[in-house]
């Protein structure tokens, strides 16, 4: 990452801060989806600080790009980005997952500014994305629909129904990102249900497909740019291969698990590890 | 009832005022066991492994929740009889129907919400209507998750009772789950069982309880109040009954683990005993569960008991820590005690 230049260098600092927010929230609960938050931080950083149009002071601004979090348990990651974006006040971070917090562990539209859908039941976001993209087209809006979902969601049939319909309706205003961290509840995703070869499958479904290292900021920026700039009358998808725990070496090395516990003393170590990886 | 502040109403200034509220965690992997309670680990998985020794027709299936429904124990013991279907609940139940059609007895697991809501039509058409011998075993029944509506199966009993052919069982504790597993395997036809997973409270062994499919059982007698309860609410009713002894309120508990078919004979017999307030307590919305089923039979049979109903409100429930939510929605032991005292005043 040390050869990043200019804007992408700023993005690296943003990504550091997003990860830091996520670790601070993780510490509130002592457990959770922290490894996922770290793996997807680079993608969210590029979405919120490079690709998307929005107004932090008016999260429901009609002209905004929509961002759907289909994998609601990644809420900790999105909150981290929304805090960095100024949509959620930073001092709410310590209420993560607590009673009557606006930041529940599973993302819900009725609780949190900037949260566009209620997640938790996986595999439903892509259908909403199709409807929103259709709706924006009907309104002649130039806003786009971004949707993040997880590799486990590829198991759900409804996701493939939506893939088909997005191509059928030539939804070129739809940009999907799938986090291929090769993990789901019962184990490595590829062992739970074989879904490769993903590029070929999605191309066959009529999508504009890119597959990148989702933890390489240059590559992520390039993929978002290409997805926006393409003139193909197709929905776009970025397949982001990511590393769980990215940025905190001892979490990267830890046995992969959907839901991890982190010992109380390890949170400080995690923050220190992030600080160490930060660009000077 | 506290609701989160609507997002429109908030500004960045809102959270900096006054004293910080004490944070309570929403423990995702919550055990419903209270502190110091006797528990038993994974009673469902353990019982199924044992039963499968003599039942080679038993198959285990899950939709990416083997570890979270204790079925992974079966998968470890019988890897060649275990199917990981991926996170695809409709497929799970359709495939279970197919295996049953070929003579196998699938135990298919997921969370209650994803079976009863996501896969309802698949269960209705491929399992219930065809009367297939599929055993549906679902964790996080009723309000046993702090994750908000997506994981809170407040209406699972209503949905499953409404399905012809379906047997519906809501066990109280580990002692009962261990007995339900062989009983549901012995029963020919589809069964829905509410699962308590992980460290599961052990209560009914103290009362020398035996489970019989379709039978309600009086767990303790009492002259003032008759609790008619199911699932974990029987445990709460028993705890409440003990506490209410201090207030000289004598409470009986009738445990109804089989919601369908309902043991109307026992329910009517107990409800008819004069002088007792009948209180149905269920870990379920007040819509369409045990309470309405009992009320219907009391009405049909002209039993004019004083009737009360404790259940979850007809609303989307909050996210938060389970003990907080059980207090808030009136199904904790303390909430039962307080409510009964009020009604007995
Ligand atoms: C429809 C549905 N089925 C099951 C679940 C339970 N569940 C929660 S997360 C999860 C794993 C999903 O895979 P993924 O999002 O890739 O997991 P991660 O990368 O976060 O480990 C499952 C099965 C759910 N939330 N929704
Ligand atoms: Mg994953």
Task: Per residue of chain A (280 residues), give pLDDT as tens.
Answer: 445 678 888 999 999 999 999 999 999 999 889 999 999 999 999 999 999 999 999 999 999 999 999 999 999 999 999 999 999 999 999 999 999 999 999 999 999 999 999 999 999 999 999 999 999 999 999 999 999 999 999 999 999 999 999 999 999 999 999 999 999 999 999 999 999 999 999 999 999 999 999 999 999 999 999 999 999 999 999 999 999 999 999 999 999 899 999 999 999 999 999 999 997 5
Which chain B residues are closer than 8 Å to A111 by Cβ? Answer: 4, 7, 319
* Residues contacting residue B100 through CB under 8 Å, at least 6 positions apart: B106, B127, B132, B133, B134
The residues facing A178 across adjacent strands are A149, A239
Instruction: Give the SS3 label for residue B136.
Output: strand
Tokens 């309902």, residue? B262
Report the distance separating Cα A153 and Cα B227, nearest Å: 43
Q: In what order do the strands lie in the sheet with B167-169?
A: B82-84, B58-62, B105-111, B135-139, B191-195, B167-169, B258-260
Tell me the C-alpha distance between B283 and B131, whole Å. Answer: 27
End-to-end CA distance of chain B: 24
Question: Which chain A residues are Cβ-neighbours of B15 within 8 angstroms?
Answer: 89, 91-92, 95
Across the interface, of A31, A91, A102, the residue whose CB is closest to B5 is A102
- This prediction's pTM: 0.95
Task: Report the b/e string of A149-188 with b at 16+ CB within 10 A.
Answer: bbbbbbbbebbbebbebbbeeebbbbbbbbbbbbbbbbbe
Question: Any CB–CB contact under 8 A between B319 and chain A?
Answer: yes
Peptide bond into A197 cis (omega under 30): yes
Count the Cβ atoms, other than its own, within 10 Å of residue B98. 14
For residue A172, is it within any domain? Answer: yes
Report the residue of chain B nearest A90, measured CA to CA.
B12
Residue A271 located in a structural domain:
yes
Contact criterion met (CB < 8 Å) for B150 and A119? yes
Q: B239 to each of A34, B229, B243, how far by Cα in Å?
A: 38, 12, 6
* Residue A269 forms part of a structural domain: yes
Judged by a CB distance cut-off of 8 A, whether residue A99 touches chain B is yes
Domain with A244 in it: what CATH number? 3.40.50.970
B60 touches A95 (CB < 8 A): no
Rounded to 5°, the CA angle A29-A213-A184 comes to 45
Closest CA to A71 of A25, A20, A129: A129
HSE, side-chain direction, 13 A CA sphere, residue B217: 17
Report yes or no on A3 lying in a domain. no
Residue B64 CA: nearest ligand 1 atom is: 23
The answer to whether the CB atoms of A121 and B321 lie below 8 A apart is no
Dihedral through CA B67, CA B69, CA B71, CA B73, nearest 10? 60
- Residue A148 Cα to chain centre, angstroms: 5
End-to-end CA distance of chain A: 12
Q: Which two tokens stand for residue B113?
A: 């919400």
Nearest residue of B to residue A58, measured between CA atoms: B8
Asked if B92 and B110 touch (Cβ cutoff 8 Å), the reply is yes
Nearest of B239, B247, B173 to residue B211 by alpha carbon: B173
Count other C-beta atoms under 10 Å from residue B11's C-beta.
9
Sign of CA dihedral B81, B68, B91, B154: positive
Note down pLDDT in tens along chain B; length 345 residues: 333 444 443 433 334 344 444 455 555 555 788 888 999 999 999 999 999 999 999 999 999 999 999 999 999 999 999 999 999 999 999 999 999 999 999 999 999 999 999 999 999 999 999 999 999 999 999 999 999 999 999 999 999 999 999 999 999 999 999 999 999 999 999 999 999 999 999 999 999 999 999 999 999 999 999 999 999 999 999 999 999 999 999 999 999 999 999 999 999 999 999 899 999 999 999 999 999 999 999 999 999 999 999 999 999 999 999 999 999 999 999 999 999 999 998
Burial state string for A238-275 with b = 16 or more CB within 10 A and e = fewer than 16: bbbbbbbbbbbeebbeeebebbbebeeebbeebbebbe
- In sequence order, which ranges of A85-144 are alpha helices (DSSP H)? 125-138
Q: What is the spatial distance between Cα A259 and Cα A247, in angstroms, rounded to a whole number?
A: 18
Q: Is A135 on the interface with B (CB under 8 A)?
A: no
Note whether B133 and B189 are within 8 A (CB). Answer: yes
Q: Tokens for A5?
A: 């230049």
Q: Which ligand is nearest to the CA of B29?
A: 1
Catalytic residue set of B: 89
For residue A1, is it within any domain?
no
Domains and CATH numbers, chain B: 37-201 (3.40.50.970), 214-344 (3.40.50.920)
**What residues pack around ion ligand 2 (CB closer than 5 A)?**
A 150-152, 181, 183
Which residue is associated with the tokens 């809170």?
A: B152
Q: What is the pLDDT of residue B31?
A: 72
Considering only CA atoms, give the Rg of chain A: 18
* Count of structural domains within chain A: 1
**What pLDDT was estimated at residue B29?**
52
What DSSP string runs through B8-66? GG--TTGGGSSSPPPP-B--TT---PPTT--EEE-HHHHHHHHHHTT-TTEEEEESS-S
Q: Tell whether B9 lies on the interface with A, counting CB pairs under 8 A.
A: no
- What range does the domain containing A14 cover? 8-279
Reported ipTM exceeds the 0.90 cut: yes
Distance of CA B315 to the CA centre of its chain: 18
Long-range contacts of B329-332 (CB under 8 A, 24+ apart): B329/B143, B331/B143, B331/B233, B331/B236, B331/B281, B331/B283, B332/B236
Please identify among residues 194-253 of chain A the ones whose CB lies closer than 8 Å to any CB of chain B: none
| CA pair distance A85, A19, nearest whole angstrom | 13
Residue A273 lies inside a defined structural domain of this protein: yes
Cα of A244 from ligand 2 centre, angstroms: 9
Report chain A residues whose CB lies below 8 A from the CB of B198.
Answer: none
């Amino acid at each position: 990452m040390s050869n990043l230049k200019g804007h992408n260098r700023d993005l690296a600092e943003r990504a550091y801060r997003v990860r830091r927010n996520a670790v601070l929230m993780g510490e509130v609960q002592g457990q959770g989806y922290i490894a996922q938050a770290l793996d997807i931080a680079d993608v969210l950083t590029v979405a919120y600080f490079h690709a998307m149009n929005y107004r932090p002071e008016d999260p429901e601004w009609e002209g905004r790009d929509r961002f759907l979090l289909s994998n609601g348990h990644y809420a900790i990651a999105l909150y981290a980005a929304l805090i960095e974006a100024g949509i959620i006040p930073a001092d709410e971070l310590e209420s993560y997952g607590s009673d009557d917090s606006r930041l529940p562990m599973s993302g819900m539209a009725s609780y949190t500014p900037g949260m566009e859908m209620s997640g938790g039941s996986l595999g439903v976001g892509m259908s909403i994305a199709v409807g929103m993209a259709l709706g924006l087209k009907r309104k002649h809006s130039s806003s786009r629909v971004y949707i993040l979902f997880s590799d486990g969601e590829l198991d759900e049939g409804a996701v493939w129904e939506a893939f088909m319909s997005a191509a059928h309706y030539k939804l070129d205003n739809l940009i999907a990102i799938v986090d291929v961290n090769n993990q789901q509840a019962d184990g490595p995703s590829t062992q739970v249900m074989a879904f490769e070869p993903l590029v070929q499958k999605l191309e066959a479904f009529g999508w504009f497909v890119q597959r990148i290292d989702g933890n390489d900021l240059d590559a992520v920026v390039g993929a978002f740019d290409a997805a926006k700039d393409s003139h193909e009358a197709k929905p776009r998808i970025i397949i982001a291969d990511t590393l769980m725990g990215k940025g905190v070496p001892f979490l990267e090395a830890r046995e992969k698990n959907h839901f991890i516990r982190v010992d109380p003393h390890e949170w400080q170590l995690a923050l220190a590890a992030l600080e160490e990886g930060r660009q000077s | 009832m506290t609701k989160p502040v609507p997002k429109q109403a908030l500004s960045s200034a809102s959270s900096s005022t006054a004293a910080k509220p004490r944070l309570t965690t929403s423990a995702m992997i919550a055990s419903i066991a209270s502190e110091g309670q006797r528990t038993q680990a994974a009673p469902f998985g353990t019982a199924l492994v044992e039963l499968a020794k003599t039942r080679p027709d038993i198959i285990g299936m899950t939709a990416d929740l083997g570890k979270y429904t204790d079925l992974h124990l079966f998968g470890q013991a019988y890897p060649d009889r275990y199917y990981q279907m991926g996170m695809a609940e409709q497929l799970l139940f359709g495939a279970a129907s197919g295996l049953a059609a070929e003579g196998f007895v699938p135990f298919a697991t997921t969370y209650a919400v994803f079976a009863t809501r996501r896969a309802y039509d698949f269960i209705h058409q491929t399992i219930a209507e065809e009367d297939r011998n599929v055993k549906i075993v679902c964790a996080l029944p009723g309000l046993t998750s702090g994750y908000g509506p997506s994981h809170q199966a407040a209406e699972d009993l209503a949905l499953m009772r409404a399905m012809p052919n379906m047997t519906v069982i809501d066990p109280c504790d580990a002692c009962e789950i261990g007995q339900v597993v062989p009983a549901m395997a012995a029963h020919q036809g589809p069964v829905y069982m509410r699962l308590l997973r992980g460290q599961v409270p052990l209560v009914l062994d103290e009362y020398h309880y035996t489970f019989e499919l379709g039978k309600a059982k009086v767990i303790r007698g009492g002259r003032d109040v008759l609790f008619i309860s199911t699932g974990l609410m029987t445990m709460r009713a028993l705890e409440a009954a003990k506490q209410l002894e201090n207030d000289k309120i004598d409470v009986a508990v009738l445990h109804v683990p089989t919601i369908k078919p309902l043991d109307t004979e026992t329910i009517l017999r107990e409800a008819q005993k004069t002088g007792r307030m009948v209180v149905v307590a269920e870990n379920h919305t007040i819509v369409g569960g045990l309470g309405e089923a009992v009320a219907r039979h009391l009405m049909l049979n002209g039993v004019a008991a004083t009737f009360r109903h404790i259940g979850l409100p007809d609303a989307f429930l909050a996210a938060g820590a389970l003990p907080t939510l059980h207090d808030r929605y009136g199904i904790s032991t303390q909430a039962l005690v307080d409510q009964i005292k009020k009604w007995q005043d």
